[in-house]
Amino acid sequence: MRRTIVALLLLAPGQAWCWGDEGHQTVARIAAAHLTDRARQAVANLLKQDAGFAAMGAAPPGTADALADTLAAAMARAAIWPDHMPGGKGATAPWHYIDIGLFEGPSHIAERCPAKNCIVGKMQEYLVNLKQHRPDGAWPESKELAFLIHFAGDIHQPLHCVSDADAGGNCVNVVGFEPMHNLHAVWDITLVNKLMARDGPGMISGMESRFRGKMRRWQDYGGIDKIAAESFDLAKSQVYGKARPRLPVIPEFIDVQPRNCATEAPESLREVKVDGPRSYGAKSVDVVRMQLYKGGVRLAAMLNAIYGN
């Protein structure tokens, strides 16, 4: 989840999170299917130490599919924990995103991640910690793994890697996709729901077939900062670039919190009402499908690198 969106607090629990719980769990289940045997066993051993993540799968105990099925269920539960922490996210809230100004671009990643207190910095940190079995002391190793699983989903949501002085789209009004009324919520929830309705129960298997020829290339992602830059580019071209009517590009960096849209976001942004159905149709759903799959197979590549040797 990027940040708590005040307008979504009236919705049912589980609907106010980045990609929705279902999106994060989809990323986790895709990753589970692409782990090496050693990585699968290591991740299973770590997650079963946490009662909140331990989960029974659907396969009968003792069958060949039992371990993989149970692991996928445990990873899916771990994937949503960072959005449902008792007492709220607190100091971990900035870890879920990085605000790269739409006007400036990915060359400013370091500047927009002070003290590594953003999604890029925390993912880099946890990749090292988990490899060395050296948690930072604030969280046990199982929780650091849960953060990594979750952030692999977050960083592939384009609006978690950009801001046009609008808190990653939270301050941009959208009509036609009720009950969602802002751009961030449309990409978090509305388009994910449309994907699930379109692809049905075979969504993940369909992704595997559709993207089989691209998986290896996507797994060679080059670094967490490269993923953030890729998501920024998608936000620029496929989110802001597709908005109708067009949104202004604010030519300076303004740090805006969702709860303060009315006072902190520029009026030129707030006065635009984006036509959701006109702006974000089938091609936008295709982007969401691609990003969820990328998140899953790249997470698998990360975990295989950590635990596969």
**What would the pLDDT profile of 25-59 be if each residue is shown by its tens digit?**
999 999 999 999 999 999 999 999 999 897 644 44
* Alpha carbons 171 and 264: distance in angstroms, whole number: 9
In terms of residues, how long is the chain? 309
For the chain, the straight-line distance linking the first and the last C-alpha, in angstroms and rounded, comes to 31
Burial class (CB in 10 A: 0-12, 13-18, 19+), 171: buried
Q: Which of 151, 116, 139 is nearest to 18 (CA)?
A: 151
pTM (2 d.p.): 0.91
**What would the pLDDT profile of 92-106 be if each residue is shown by its tens digit?**
999 999 999 999 999
User: Is 240 a residue whose pLDDT tops 50?
Assistant: yes
Q: Which of 148, 142, 147, 139 is nearest to 43 (CA)?
A: 142
**What would the pLDDT profile of 137-177 be if each residue is shown by its tens digit?**
899 999 999 999 999 999 999 999 999 999 999 999 999 99
Q: Which of 46, 10, 28, 39 is nearest to 154 (CA)?
A: 28
Rg over CA atoms, the chain: 19
Burial class (CB in 10 A: 0-12, 13-18, 19+), 78: buried
Q: Evaluate the CA torsion angle 233, 239, 241, 242 in order and state its sign.
A: positive
Mean per-residue pLDDT, 204-228: 97
Q: Which of 24, 13, 12 is nearest to 188 (CA)?
A: 24
Mean per-residue pLDDT, 66-90: 90
What pLDDT is attached to residue 20? 75
The total of other beta-carbon atoms located within 10 Å of residue 110's CB is 12
CATH architecture of the domain with residue range 6-307? Orthogonal Bundle (1.10)
Longest Cα–Cα distance in the chain: 61
Domain ranges of the chain: 6-307
Q: Which of 2, 1, 5 is nearest to 260 (CA)?
A: 5
Least confident of 48-52, 63-67, 120-124, 186-190: 63-67
The two tokens of residue 24 are 């994060």
